[in-house]
Structure 1
Amino acid sequence: MKLFRGFRQQLIHEKNIKKYLLYAIGEILLVMIGITLAFQVDNWNEDRVKKIAEIRTYKNIREQINGDKELIKNQIDYNNRYMVQFEYAKEIIFTNDRSKIDTLGAIAAKLTKYSDFDRKGNIYETMVNSGEIQLLQNQSIINRIRWLEERYNYINRMENIHYDIVIGYAAPSITKTVNFVTAEVIEPEQIYSVEFQNLTQLLLQVMIEKDEIYESGITEIDEILALIDIELKDN
């Protein structure tokens, strides 16, 4: 800086206005270039920090929904296990096959079983409240996370409906019909009645719909995971 100041003073002393103006303009340009470079470096650092945060958020989402996927798969297995048995019980009642009354009693004692994913968290809402949603540049991922939350809400509604049927109808009916400890049928006519058959059918309808929404949730998760993998691979 002393060198530049000395050169500038020399030009003033020599009264070389033309050279002085050219020098002054050059000096201004150098300052402007320096400021521009500084801003560019700051912007580059800021973008880099944002990208690191974005990648971290994608990884967190991936970990969370992978965990959800495993939980849903467990619920699918649980739901299907009893759905097959309840379907068989309905067939026994429909055909009035009294030779299978012990089997029917054993299955009837399980009519209170129900799958329960019970997802309490809200990924999308949490990200909005924390500001993390602004870090994500892939709008497709954002949209699909929101759709996944809708699937979760649907699952919770169906599980609540299933629970209400179990508590309000299945449990009282089974208590009067089957011994829970021995699975012995106490009221044969009741367990072979149309009312009991309708109860079994109602439970099956709810379980079938639950299975469909479980599978839909798995599909949505897989699509989000595929999009996240692309983002992480590109970065």
Structure 2
Amino acid sequence: MIKFFRKIRQKALTNNKFSKYILYAIGEIVLVVIGILIALQLNSKKAKSDTFKKQQNYLALIKGEMKNNLLTLSNESEDLLSIIENNRKIIALMDSDSAATAINENDLSSLLLMPISRAISIDYENGAFKELISSGGLKDIHNDSIRTILRSWESKLITIKEQENALRQSLNKTIEYVEAHGNYRAVFDRIGLSEDLNINLSSKVTTNKHLLTSQKLENILLNYLACAIQLHEKNYPTFKNDIQSLIDMIDKELKK
């Protein structure tokens, strides 16, 4: 079409028909402009399509990570509950001289094991989330609600990690106290760990009942219990709800 206009324009110029030359020249320019606009529109559509596909891919990856995090949270919450229950039982024994005297070493060793051995720490999956943020792709997430949640996700993780660190510090204090004032051999012998380690049972009388009279250990366990309850009853449930809400929103977005 442009070649057609060019030939007519050249013919008009040859025949000294300047007005027609101008007219056809304008027509040629209009065609060029239209062609450019069409090309820009096609490029824009392709760019939008590429951005949409990239967004869907990121959301699918983030959804997978969040589902794994949700499962890990549920598993860790169960162990955290065991720690809470054991700490409560030990503190209850400390409040009752008769109960502390009556409990046998096997049961006491079982109660002591969880608070001195089980650390709660979750390695949250967030590789896709980090890549999305570092690539500047967050702005391309069309759903405002999803974008808002993702923007605040790092701060949510920091809050959870801080509480987990507080719990770990309480665990370390408990371990340090029992190592200094308790008898690990008594625990190992009575829970079967000595046999697993292929060592003989102690020939000496071993006990940890004296720990039940320690005010310092009680203080440590109370702080331990408070940190564990905060994590189990407040931080984790809130975080689970946030994760599930994000998964549900991503599901809806991926179906579009």
TM-score class, shorter: 0.7 to 0.9
User: Cα distance 1:176–1:26, how it changes in 2: closer, same or farther (>3 A)?
Assistant: closer
Distance, in Å, in 2 between the alignment partners of 1:117 and 1:131 is 30
Shift of 1:169: 2.5
Please state whether the residue corresponding to 1:20 is helix, strand or coil. helix
User: Cα distance 1:132–1:149, how it changes in 2: closer, same or farther (>3 A)?
Assistant: farther
Distance, in Å, in 2 between the alignment partners of 1:47 and 1:215 is 38
Q: Tell me what 1:148 maps to.
A: 156
Q: Tell me what 1:88 maps to.
A: 89
Task: Tell whether 2:32 aligns with 1:28.
Answer: no
Distance, in Å, in 2 between the alignment partners of 1:200 and 1:26 is 87
Amino acid paired to 1:80? L
Amino acid paired to 2:252? I
Please state whether the residue corresponding to 1:181 is helix, strand or coil. helix
Task: Tell whether 2:12 aligns with 1:4.
Answer: no
Determine if contact 2:163/2:227 at 8 Å carries over to the other structure: no
User: Cα distance 1:111–1:159, how it changes in 2: closer, same or farther (>3 A)?
Assistant: closer
Distance, in Å, in 2 between the alignment partners of 1:199 and 1:155 is 16
Q: Tell me what 1:221 maps to.
A: 243
User: Which residues in structure 2 correspond to 1:1-235 (within 5 Å)?
Assistant: 1-96=2-97, 97=99, 98-102=101-105, 103-119=107-123, 123=127, 125-137=130-142, 138=144, 139-175=147-183, 178-182=186-190, 186-211=207-232, 212-234=234-256
User: Cα distance 1:19–1:231, how it changes in 2: closer, same or farther (>3 A)?
Assistant: same
Distance, in Å, in 1 between the alignment partners of 2:125 and 2:166 is 17
Note the residue ranges of structure 1 that are not aligned, 5 or more in a row.
Answer: none
Shift of 1:198: 3.1
Distance, in Å, in 1 between the alignment partners of 2:115 and 2:3 is 92
TM value normalised by structure 2: 0.77
Distance, in Å, in 2 between the alignment partners of 1:173 and 1:74 is 32
Distance, in Å, in 2 between the alignment partners of 1:190 and 1:25 is 98
Amino acid paired to 2:57? R
Distance, in Å, in 2 between the alignment partners of 1:89 and 1:60 is 44
TM value normalised by structure 1: 0.83
Aligned length: 234
Note the residue ranges of structure 2 that are not aligned, 5 or more in a row.
Answer: 192-204
Identity %: 18
Greater mean alpha carbon deviation, residues 104-113 or residues 184-193: 184-193
Determine if contact 1:178/1:185 at 8 Å carries over to the other structure: yes
Q: Tell me what 2:201 maps to.
A: none
Determine if contact 2:86/2:114 at 8 Å carries over to the other structure: no
Q: Tell me what 2:200 maps to.
A: none
Greater mean alpha carbon deviation, residues 186-195 or residues 44-53: 186-195
Shift of 1:177: 9.1
Distance, in Å, in 1 between the alignment partners of 2:113 and 2:75 is 22
Greater mean alpha carbon deviation, residues 158-167 or residues 35-44: 158-167
Distance, in Å, in 2 between the alignment partners of 1:202 and 1:185 is 27
